Structure formats: structure tokens, C-alpha cells
Amino acid sequence: TDGDAQFLLANCYGVGGLGLPLDRERAFSLYIHASKQNHIESTYRAGVCYEIGIGTRKDYGRAMSFYRKAATQSHVASMYKLAIILMRGYCGQTINMKEALTWLQRAAALANTQNPHAMYALAMLQFSEEFAEHRIADGSYALELLHTSAHMEYLPSQVKLGELYEMGSHGFVQVDDALSIYWYTRAAEQGNADAALALSSWYLTGSAGILPQSNREAYLWARRAA
């Protein structure tokens, strides 16, 4: 479609790809044109341009309009973006936790491998004192969200699971050395420094029948964390 073609061209101008000159104003203009043809990703990108001031002047009001337009068309990244903006009062917005949670829950329900962030954010409300009154009632649901996003290779979720199974938490997560080591290893092997450091600690102490103590492995993982 014309929208797809304009989106591709906008991306190329945005980074100077496919032999095209870097031209962020042109990229922004193309995102706007594609958005008018209901190209949802372009609508989101136009919002980002307005929020940050790329290729156009910064305009939070217009950024919010484009994010809302994309979010109402079930664009997951836009739903998540709106949730964080309204939760934190970014972009000149008044904090609105009720609306923020609505968008966050919708984004979590539609999360995918490209956009797993909302599942993690929704789960983390369970452990946040700042948002204590907005916690998910069912702790097992928070754990399920972490597992689902961790299997999508979302590193913060993998690290959090490693921590939860190492320490136990809130009565709904039992200590499980094997699962803690598994999730720390999975994140550490993808280069996460926090997970590598935690794995180093596991090797320093070892876990009977699960992980043999190894000063060498502890040292190697600590080096990777540095």
C-alpha cells in the first residue's frame, strides 16, 4: 500500500538508509502522510517525533493525539507509551493512574515478542511501594506475566524471576534454587550484567544437587558482569 511504501521511505530517510540522505524532516512528513492513510506504525512514529522533537518542533499535545489514535487501533507500543506517560506525568500530562492502568492492562493482554514491556510493568506493580494501592490483586497473575514475558526473552523479566526464586516473595513465590539459576543463566548468556553477577554469586556458594560450587565459574561470570 501507499502507507507501507511511505513508512519504509520514512525509515530510510530517518537513518540515511538505502543510499538516501539523512533527512529527518522528510521522514517526519512521510510518517504524517502514511498516518493519514491509517498506517498505524507511522501514527506511532509521528507521535514519537512530536514527543522528542525529531524532524519537527516538540509538541506534547500532538504527540498525545497520535499516541491515542494508534492506541485506539490496538497498537501495543502506543498503549504502553500512554500508560507510562499517564503513570509518571510525562509530556506535560496530569498523572492519571486509572487511565494508565487501563492502557497497561490492554497492552499486556496484546503483548508480543516485539512489545513485552507492558507485562513486566504490570507485574512489577506487585512489588512497588510507590504504586501499592494499584497492585494486581492476584500475585500468581503477576508471576504468570513475568513468565510469559521472560519466555519472550525479555531480560528484565528473566532477571526478576531469578531474584524471586532465589529469595521467595510475598508468599506466592517459593524459593527454588534450580529455577533461580535457570533464569539468571538465561539472562546472563544474553549479556545482562545483573544476571551475570547473580550467577557468579550462585557459583561461589553452589547449590546441593543443582549447581556445583566453582570459584572459576564465579570469577568468569563476575568478569562478564564488569
State yes or no: pLDDT of 3 exceeds 90.
yes
Angle at 127 between CA 182 and CA 198, to 5 degrees: 30
* Alpha-carbon span 8 to 33, nearest angstrom: 12
pTM: 0.93
Mean pLDDT of 71-89: 98
Residue 65 included in any domain: no
Q: How many CA atoms lie within 13 A of 222 on its CB side?
A: 11
CATH number at 211 reads: 1.25.40
Instruction: Quote the pLDDT of residue 122.
Output: 96
Q: Which of residues 172 and 13 earns the better pLDDT score? A: 13
Instruction: Quote the pLDDT of residue 107.
Output: 98
Residue 14 included in any domain: no
Residues 150-206: pLDDT tens digits? 999 999 999 999 999 999 987 889 999 999 999 999 999 999 999 999 999 999 999
State yes or no: pLDDT of 218 exceeds 90.
yes
Residue 192 included in any domain: yes
Instruction: Quote the pLDDT of residue 18.
Output: 86
Residue 63 included in any domain: no
Instruction: Quote the pLDDT of residue 129.
Output: 84
Residue 146 included in any domain: no
Q: In the predicted model, what is the mean pLDDT of the chain?
A: 96
Give the range among 89-93, 134-138, 141-145 with minimum mean pLDDT.
Answer: 134-138
Residue 99: CB partners within 8 Å, gap ≥ 6? 82, 86
Instruction: Quote the pLDDT of residue 170.
Output: 74
Place of cell 503483548: 111
State yes or no: pLDDT of 137 exceeds 90.
no
Number of domains present in the structure of the chain:
1
State yes or no: pLDDT of 138 exceeds 80.
yes
Residues 94-126: pLDDT tens digits? 999 999 999 999 999 999 999 999 999 999 999
Instruction: Quote the pLDDT of residue 196.
Output: 98
Domain that holds residue 168: 153-226
Mean pLDDT of 48-77: 98
State yes or no: pLDDT of 2 exceeds 80.
yes
| Residue of 21, 15, 32, 25 lying closest to 7 (CA atoms) | 32
Residue 170 included in any domain: yes
Mean pLDDT of 25-29: 97
Instruction: Quote the pLDDT of residue 124.
Output: 95
Residues 194-203: pLDDT tens digits? 999 999 999 9
